[in-house]
Structure 1
């Protein structure tokens, strides 16, 4: 019911506007190559629509060959952009082979007068490329399940509309047209393409913004030196009244760390901090969390208190760290660490209460000679690695 020329104009303007939008986004974030590649791809698709409009008025074979080369090229660039979005940079060479096959076959068919067959082949390649784009996004659906599912469905719908165009020509036996195809399937295809491509431009922008926001949040909650979570992450993870009997907190403080910095230099001190963080990671179970609170202070949240596991884990961390050889310009350095343990309660202690109790126990470990663990006032010495029972 809509004027065919108006539909073509709407498709061209939609592609151009979306391309300009992506180009502006890329100019502000030059590292996001996806937006540049997608922008060029959309311009090529818009050029295909303009060439198609020209062909409807002047069905010259060279114009037909041009428009058939532009469509798979535009979709191929969108496919490459999808690969860039997820780091699949090797996809370009495979796409180039598909585009070359499409362009060569449609150009040959157009020049020998089988323009109807050429349109069928063009629509077949467009369908394949669109399904391929949807598959690239679908493989990464764990990142944004709802958005990527919607995007995949839209690509599938758009691919089906191109397949439908080719199917109508095939069923009608339109091997030779002598003009641009104009039927109900073509009009449905233009409407679907305008709607889908607009949405498919907006959804990656949304995913990119969500990804940037998640990265910024992760950076805000991560200690840049050790890669452990920081104090802010600890506070965010455990709201008030969070620590029941099944949880425990172990606080660690590196012994004589200031003297280490003074004697060996701050770069050696940084290496000591990173080495201790690595030792903590080695002893993490599923559900446990390690944090750097600041300076030389660290914390370990034990998710399941079972038997003597908490004390044994703390002592093993102390023993493993004490056995680390840290090579510096001055010589080999060995360090120790002290630990204080606090257990949760039936009344569900707050994070502040747990840290205060663990810090008090840690202070007792320091006063008792360092390189040891204090658990509820009982002082132990890490003379050997105890067996874990959990």
Structure 2
């Protein structure tokens, strides 16, 4: 054949070992991502399979073909477990176990019966099927990182094609028995070449996808309030990078009444619980397109796209009334907390977000001066 089988086998083993080291190192730096460890385990098993294939090539002993086959399909099955950890956070033990048993059993049984050629053929067939299964599932989640994950799926399918070519060649040349000879076909050489490319490519892409996920998490964390989970001030202003909001955008500023006194009297844990309950209640009363923000302390903002002043006031009143009826437990004592609100509306074609917040703040101060636990609006039309 036109390929040096041993060199390609060594290259695939070296690529696998390097990838295993890279994934393990990434996991040690980011232990909250267990799928990296699972992928490292998968590659380690592939390297073990490569060693078994090398032993087969040297000794022609069919037992090594069986061991290599079982290791290979087990590795690809573990890879699916890594995928489920990556996409859902859980290792699909049952599915992985079924994949390992379902793919390894035919290889073991046919080899034990003496049909080593058929066993080797099944190794390639089962490997191709599991890889196709994995590639399909990566394809279904490519929206997270379209470029890298699409490439990962394609590399899986490239390997599938070469495994199927091996099946075809083996079916022609040695359908049942090896007859104590090492099969060194052009299809196997091609399979090893693609394996080297796929292992190197998938390894780099895995790391890329992982780093992109970390970057997104850091960005999401920088745009959300850690206590309530709502958007923070930065997220609000990044939503409108020009600093302008469109006409018909309503804004409500909400501030919990006498919150500092309640916090001092019942403790910060109680205050945090009140803030979380209030944030949850706000979200439950908002439309999907509304933006709920914790500006800081006990002050919150609701931005209402395509709203009217009447609708904004009605929402603020609903939140005020609901908060007034809520009770919070503090050392066995039921405590209530009220909220004051100020409402403003962007009445011009383009209105500054800062000016709209100031207008709503002025209305909030009016609510505070008028006795708290009420909703106010300013009469100015500056915004």
Settle same-fold status: TM greater than 0.5.
yes
Partner of residue 41, structure 2: 40
After superposing on structure 2, the runs of 4+ consecutive aligned residues of structure 1 that deviate more than 6 Å are none
Q: Residues 126-166 of structure 1: CA distance to partner in whole angstroms, max 9, x if unpaired? A: 01211222233233333223332222222112112111101
Mapped contact 2:295–2:301 kept (Cα < 8 A): yes
Deviates more, 1:42-51 or 1:314-323: 42-51
- Rate the CA distance shift 1:338–1:104 in 2: closer, same or farther, 3 A: closer
Of residues 99-108 and 124-133 in structure 1, the stretch that sits farther from structure 2 once superposed is: 99-108
TM-superposed deviation, 1:3: 1.9
Report the Cα distance in structure 2 between the residues aligned to 1:276 and 1:78, rounded to whole angstroms: 43
Within 2, Cα distance between the matches of 1:69 and 1:276? 56
8 Å Cα contact 2:250-2:308 kept in structure 1:
no
Checking the alignment, whether the CA contact within 8 Å between 1:291 and 1:299 is kept in structure 2 is: yes
Q: Which moved more, 1:345-354 or 1:366-375?
A: 345-354
Residue 356 of structure 1: how far off its partner (Å): 1.4
Query: What does residue 106 of structure 1 align with?
Result: 107
Residue 334 (structure 1) shift: 1.6
Across the two proteins, how many residue pairs are aligned to each other?
A: 378
Task: Provide closer, same or farther for how the CA distance between residues 168 and 88 of structure 1 changes in structure 2, counting only shifts above 3 A.
Answer: farther
Instruction: Provide closer, same or farther for how the CA distance between residues 317 and 155 of structure 1 changes in structure 2, counting only shifts above 3 A.
Output: same
Tell me the alpha carbon deviations over residues 65-124 of structure 1, each in whole angstroms, 9 at most, x when there is no partner: 222222112222222222222236452233223323443432343344422211111111
Asked if the contact 1:83–1:136 (Cα under 8 Å) also holds between the matched residues in 2, the reply is no
- The residue that corresponds to 2:338 in the other structure is 336
- Equivalent residue for 1:68? 69
What's the offset of the Cα at 1:17?
A: 0.8
Judging changes above 3 Å, is the alpha-carbon distance between structure 1 residues 80 and 275 closer, same or farther for their aligned structure 2 residues?
closer
Q: Higher mean Cα deviation, 93-102 or 214-223?
A: 93-102
2:183 aligned counterpart, secondary structure: coil
**Larger mean Cα displacement after TM superposition, 310-319 or 170-179:** 170-179
- Match runs of 1:54-203 below 5 Å: 54-87=55-88, 89=90, 91-172=92-173, 174-177=175-178, 178-203=180-205
Any residues of structure 2 matched to 1:203-282 within 5 Å, and which? 203-282=205-284
Deviates further, 132-141 or 220-229: 132-141
CA distance in 2, matches of 1:172, 1:61: 16
Q: Which string of whole-angstrom CA distances, capped at 9 and with x for unpartnered residues, describes residues 264-305 of structure 1?
A: 332222222222212211221121101110111110001112
Q: How far apart, CA to CA, are the structure 1 residues paired with 2:256 and 2:34? A: 44
| Cα separation, 1, equivalents of 2:332 and 2:304 | 37
Structure-2 change in CA distance of 1:329 and 1:161 (3 Å): same
The residue aligned with 1:12 is 13
Please give the alpha-carbon distance, in whole angstroms, between the structure 2 residues aligned to 1:97 and 1:335. 55
Secondary structure at 1:349's aligned position in 2?
A: strand
**Counterpart Cα distance in 2 of 1:248 and 1:137:** 42
Q: Is the partner of 1:279 in helix, strand or coil?
A: helix
Q: Give TM-score scaled by structure 1 length.
A: 0.90
Q: Secondary structure at the match of 1:136?
A: helix
Q: Give the distance between the partners of 1:260 and 1:193, measured in 2 at CA.
A: 65
Whether the aligned pair in 1 keeps the contact of 2:66 and 2:120 (CA below 8 Å) is no
1:376 offset after TM fit, Å? Answer: 2.4
CA distance in 2, matches of 1:332, 1:365: 25
Unaligned runs of at least 5 residues, structure 1: 379-390
In 1, distance between residues paired with 2:28 and 2:267?
Answer: 43
> 2: CA distance between counterparts of 1:101 and 1:225?
47
In the alignment, the residues of structure 2 paired with residue 6 and residue 192 of structure 1 have an alpha-carbon distance, to the nearest angstrom, of 14
**CA distance, structure 2, for counterparts of residue 183 and residue 114 of structure 1:** 19
Tell me the secondary structure at the aligned position of residue 350 of structure 2.
Answer: coil
> 2:121, 2:175 within 8 Å by CA — same for their partners in 1?
no
1:337-372 Cα distance to aligned partner (Å, 9 max, x none): 111112214241222111111111111111122111
Q: Extract unaligned runs of 5+ from structure 2.
A: none
Mapping of residues 344-359 of structure 1, within 5 Å: 344-359=346-361
Q: Is residue 311 of structure 1 aligned with residue 295 of structure 2? A: no
182-191 or 237-246, larger mean C-alpha shift: 237-246
